[in-house]
Amino acid sequence: QQADIGLIGLGVMGANLALNIAENGYRVAVFNRTVAKTREFYEEAGSLKGQIIPCETLEDLAKNIRAPRPIILMVKAGEAVDEQVAALKPFLAKEDIIIDAGNANFHDTVRRLAELGPNDPTFVGMGVSGGEEGARHGPSIMVGGTPESYARIEPVLTAISAKYHGESCSALLGPDGAGHFVKTIHNGIEYADMQMIAEVYGVLRDGLGLTPEAIGRIFEKWNNGPLNSYLIEITAKVLAATDKKTGEPAVDVILDSAGQKGTGRWAAIEAQMLGIPATGIEAAVAARSISSLVKERSEASKAYGDLGTAKLLDGGQAFIDALEEGLLAGKIAAYAQGFDVMAGASKEHGWNIPLATTARIWRAGCIIRSQFLDQIAAAFEGREGKNLLLAPAFVERMKTGSQSLRKIVAEAALAGLPTPALAAALGYFDSFRQARGTANLIQAQRDFFGAHGFKRIGEEGDFHGPWSEAN
Ligand code: 6PG
């Protein structure tokens, strides 16, 4: 019996996805460039072996899948995808579908589609989130492609996806690059979310002098409130863990230099290219870059000392509560930015990304999964494309939440504790709600040095200022 679907690339994500497919009753033909890995995967598949067809060549893989063939690629994003597509094409027909499930840059996905000839198989760009666990037991799946392609792969994607109260976390979000774009923004938001959590951890550690264990308990408690989310949950677990080698808290033995594979940076770059503010994401990307300057930071710490900054005022439980509410407010602003970037890209590329659906398929399976996304989905229902900060439910929350955010950012600044992402979120919020900003001065400066012109309030046309007289 032929397989229903094929999968290429048996790394951690690919192998788990293949097992997930098999477990859901679909037959899957698998291939890996290193044959030994294919054999090993098959041997370890246990009771799922009957659903798996291990293939040692691409020709073999194509033969073992029922036409029209859907084939998932789970290889390293970048050149490996192009190589795999080129190697695979000779064995495929026009009706087949290659599904790139890696963290591709959406520009590559658009290009790959454009490069396909009239008799080539079609191409789908699919964002998959949820790490190892998600891939194995239910990821969030963000698809970019044609409705026809999606209709053909929808049953298997729905089956393997995460479920939020029974609703599948897989959806077609638009054509060509839309799925990979949404995954990129998911990761950008993931960066902002993680960074804000780390900043609060820093305030608790360096400002209040709490132990990882004590901080872990705070996060554990917060996970039962409005911050309830996968990232808060794992933060609590991480802080409670002990290093086997030293018996120290595990976080205390880890070098404070964050890795990044590029998706967060792409999110910030795309936001900039679209001219849409995503300062929470940008600050988070920059914070990772600063974290990598281990030597310079050590030198600067010696050069500047503590600058005589004030001690953080220990406001007791009230301050801890402000941290909880402020973190949520910062998160709301960062998510508002992320969704705005998607709305902007959707307009720019004519994608029609459904924002409520996007929020819905992020409620389970993915790294940023949370209850909070259910509220975001509700906020976008019927008012797609409007900034989240203008949704009535969020206006109410931010009225009080922003005050806590303000308090913690201010206190941290006075104490010399860095909160770049939280501060960026606050700056965005305060600028966004300012009916009369300060760009009138920027316009005057531009006109002064470059005669760029400006608009007068309530008048049509371009004007110049009386600068020569001022000179
Ligand atoms: C996910 C994750 C996943 C991966 C990122 C991490 O949604 O499942 O985002 O895609 O963990 O690549 O990115 P960095 O290595 O850049 O932190």
Catalytic residue among 23, 89, 183, 221: 183
Final residue in a domain of this structure, among 150, 176, 202: 176
pTM over 0.95: yes
Final residue in a domain of this structure, among 149, 176, 203: 176
Alpha-carbon torsion, ordered 380, 421, 199, 127, to 10 deg: 50
Same domain for 224 and 82: no
Which pLDDT does position 315 carry in this prediction?
82
Q: What is the pLDDT of residues 305-352, one digit of tens each?
A: 989 888 887 789 999 999 999 999 999 999 999 999 999 999 999 999
Which atom of ligand 1 lies closest to the CA of 258? Answer: 17
What are the C-alpha distances in Å from 282 to residues 9, 257, 344? 32, 17, 17
ipTM: 0.97
Which pLDDT does position 385 carry in this prediction?
80
Q: What is the pLDDT of residues 73-122, one digit of tens each?
A: 999 999 999 999 999 999 999 999 999 999 999 999 999 999 999 999 99
Same domain for 208 and 147: no
Same domain for 193 and 150: no
CATH assignment at residue 463: 1.20.5.320
Which pLDDT does position 470 carry in this prediction?
59
Q: What is the pLDDT of residues 271-289, one digit of tens each?
A: 999 999 999 999 999 999 9
Same domain for 236 and 138: no
Residues of each annotated binding site: 9-14, 32-34, 75-77, 103, 129-131, 186-187, 191, 261, 288, 446, 452
Which atom of ligand 1 lies closest to the CA of 187? Answer: 9
Closest CA to 215 of 310, 320, 287: 320
Q: Is 296 helix (H, G, I), strand (E, B) or coil?
A: helix
Q: What is the pLDDT of residues 180-195, one digit of tens each?
A: 999 999 999 999 999 9
Same domain for 218 and 159: no
What's the pLDDT band for 42 if we cut at 50, 70, 90?
very high
For the chain, percent of residues with pLDDT exceeding 70: 99
What is the 295 CA–ligand 1 centroid distance (Å)?
26
Judge contact between 145 and 123, C-beta under 8 A.
yes
Catalytic residue among 37, 190, 282, 331: 190
Average pLDDT, stretch 250-260?
Answer: 98
Same domain for 95 and 189: no
Whether residue 468 is predicted with pLDDT greater than 90 in this model: the reply is: no
Residues of each annotated binding site for substrate: 103, 129-131, 186-187, 191, 261, 288, 446, 452
What are 264's two structure tokens? 């967060």
Same domain for 224 and 124: no
Same domain for 239 and 154: no
Whose C-alpha lies nearest to ligand 1, atom 7?
A: 129
- Structural domain containing residue 103: 5-176
Domain count of the fold of the chain? 3
Ligand 1 binding residues, C-beta < 6 A = 103, 129-131, 187, 190, 259-261, 263-264, 366-367
Q: What is the pLDDT of residues 376-423, one digit of tens each?
A: 999 999 888 899 999 999 999 999 999 999 999 999 999 999 999 999
Please state, in angstroms and rounded to a whole number, the distance separating the CA atoms of residues 186 and 189. 5
Residues of each annotated binding site for NADP(+): 9-14, 32-34, 75-77, 103
199 is catalytic: no
Which pLDDT does position 308 carry in this prediction?
85
Whose C-alpha lies nearest to ligand 1, atom 17?
A: 260
Whether residue 27 is predicted with pLDDT greater than 90 in this model: the reply is: yes
What are the C-alpha distances in Å from 424 to residues 267, 280, 331, 341, 446? 16, 6, 11, 16, 25
Same domain for 280 and 209: yes
Closest CA to 135 of 23, 240, 235, 271: 23
Same domain for 172 and 191: no
Hey, which of 161, 234, 263 would you mutate to test ligand 1's pocket, going by the most ligand atoms within 8 Å of its Cβ?
263
What is the 80 CA–ligand 1 centroid distance (Å)?
18
CATH assignment at residue 104: 3.40.50.720
Same domain for 282 and 205: yes
Cβ neighbours, 10 Å, residue 232: 22
Final residue in a domain of this structure, among 125, 150, 176: 176
190 is catalytic: yes
What is the 430 CA–ligand 1 centroid distance (Å)?
30
Q: What is the pLDDT of residues 420-433, one digit of tens each?
A: 999 999 999 999 99
Which pLDDT does position 56 carry in this prediction?
97
Q: Is 391 helix (H, G, I), strand (E, B) or coil?
A: coil
Whether residue 471 is predicted with pLDDT greater than 60 in this model: the reply is: no
Same domain for 116 and 13: yes
What are 126's two structure tokens? 């699919």
CATH assignment at residue 207: 1.10.1040.10
